């Protein structure tokens, strides 16, 4: 253990520890449960029988629209700090739709919310030195939607964070290979739709939890805004941790940082 730690500066080690704290903290369900006063799991009974099928369509559509509106249009800029507060205010406004209309408003609200969150994620990536025009960075931004943090009961040998990256790695490799061979990339390609489908599987879990919280009768518009603010805060934290790790991987190598990250300390 000491041999690994001695190969990284103290400043970078502390950055890695902070990133791990963000990425491995309890997931959004626990935070939402604190707002509504009941475990999210009890809210599954309010969902219609065909919810999973509808959710899959809405989630994939939202990610595709967000990619088109945010990730494919963001510009490279030299910035050191992301505009987290501005994006929180914007996403809070879209949350009033979910608070007022619940399940019926999701098809309207989620694409807007997802686009704002993705723009914030890309902003955070850029502030960590990522070249946002490159396909690898664009995919890394989308990857954040699959990061949910751990549940309190989780005690996996490998972190939830790296397990998720492993789950998506083959699709990312195939997408990068496609771009290298064809020199073009857009949101309609098969490889892109494949990775969107995989991310949507994970993102859909968190969308379900958010929707359940917004469906509580007493929540209303103000509560919907609060829940959406918590929702984007979660992904901003995931993005900060993710792009901190990627920055350190560029400096020290992926395997070294992964091994150091997974040390039980």
pLDDT tens digits, one per residue of 179-191 = 777 766 665 678 8
Residue 259 pLDDT exceeds 80: yes
- Give the other-Cβ count within 10 Å of 217's Cβ: 7
pLDDT score of 141: 94
Q: Which among 138, 124, 118, 109 is positioned nearest to 207, based on CA atoms?
A: 109
78 versus 105: the higher-pLDDT residue is: 105
Q: Which residue has the tokens 């958010």?
A: 210
Q: Calculate the alpha carbon distances from 82 to 88, 122, 231, 242 in Å.
A: 12, 9, 17, 14
pLDDT score of 156: 47
pLDDT score of 106: 76
pLDDT score of 198: 92
Q: Which residues of 172-192 are buried (b: 16+ CB within 10 A; e: fewer)?
A: beebbebbeeeeebeeeeebb
Q: What is the pLDDT of residues 127-168, one digit of tens each?
A: 999 998 888 898 999 999 999 755 434 444 455 899 999 999
pLDDT score of 152: 38
10 versus 213: the higher-pLDDT residue is: 10
Residue 257 pLDDT exceeds 60: yes
Q: Which among 252, 243, 234, 19 is positioned nearest to 128, based on CA atoms?
A: 243
pLDDT score of 217: 59
pLDDT score of 151: 45
Residue 113 pLDDT exceeds 70: yes
Q: Which residue has the tokens 């406004």?
A: 93
What mean pLDDT do residues 241-258 have?
96
What mean pLDDT do residues 55-71 have?
85
Q: What is the pLDDT of residues 23-34, one digit of tens each?
A: 988 677 777 766
Neighbouring-strand partners of residue 150: 26
pLDDT score of 87: 77
What mean pLDDT do residues 199-220 have?
77
Residue 78 pLDDT exceeds 80: no
Q: Which tokens belong to 109?
A: 């609200």
pLDDT score of 37: 61
> Which range among 4-18, 81-95, 178-192, 219-233 has the greatest average pLDDT?
4-18
Tell me the H-state helices in the chain: 2-5, 10-23, 28-36, 51-66, 84-101, 106-127, 135-143, 160-182, 190-214, 220-252, 254-261
Rounded to 5 degrees, φ, ψ at 26 are -50, 145
In this structure, are residues 77 and 127 in contact, taking their beta carbons and an 8 Å threshold?
A: no
- Give the other-Cβ count within 10 Å of 84's Cβ: 18
pLDDT score of 225: 77
Domain regions of the chain by residue span: 2-261
């Amino acid at each position: 253990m000491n041999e690994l730690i001695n190969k990284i500066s103290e400043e970078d080690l502390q950055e890695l520890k902070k990133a791990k704290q963000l990425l491995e903290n309890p997931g959004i369900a626990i935070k939402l449960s604190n707002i509504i006063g009941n475990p999210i799991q009890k809210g599954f009974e309010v969902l219609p029988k065909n919810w999973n099928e509808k959710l899959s369509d809405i989630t994939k559509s939202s990610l595709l629209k967000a990619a088109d509106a945010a990730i494919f249009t963001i510009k490279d800029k030299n910035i050191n700090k992301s505009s987290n507060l501005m994006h929180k205010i914007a996403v809070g406004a879209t949350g009033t739709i979910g608070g007022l209309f619940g399940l019926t408003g999701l098809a309207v609200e989620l694409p807007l919310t997802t686009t704002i969150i993705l723009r914030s994620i890309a902003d955070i990536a850029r502030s960590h030195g990522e070249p946002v025009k490159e396909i690898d960075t664009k995919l890394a931004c989308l990857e954040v939607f699959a990061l949910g943090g751990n549940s309190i009961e989780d005690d996996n040998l490998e972190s939830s964070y790296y397990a998720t990256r492993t789950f998506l790695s083959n699709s990312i490799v195939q997408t990068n290979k496609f771009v290298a061979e064809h020199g073009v990339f857009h949101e309609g390609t098969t490889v892109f739709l494949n990775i969107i489908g995989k991310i949507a599987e994970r993102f859909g879990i968190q969308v379900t939890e958010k929707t359940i919280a917004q469906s509580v009768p007493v929540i209303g518009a103000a509560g919907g805004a609060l829940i959406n603010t918590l929702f984007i805060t979660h992904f901003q934290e995931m993005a900060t941790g993710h792009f901190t790790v990627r920055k350190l991987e560029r400096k020290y190598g992926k395997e070294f940082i992964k091994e150091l990250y997974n040390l039980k300390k």
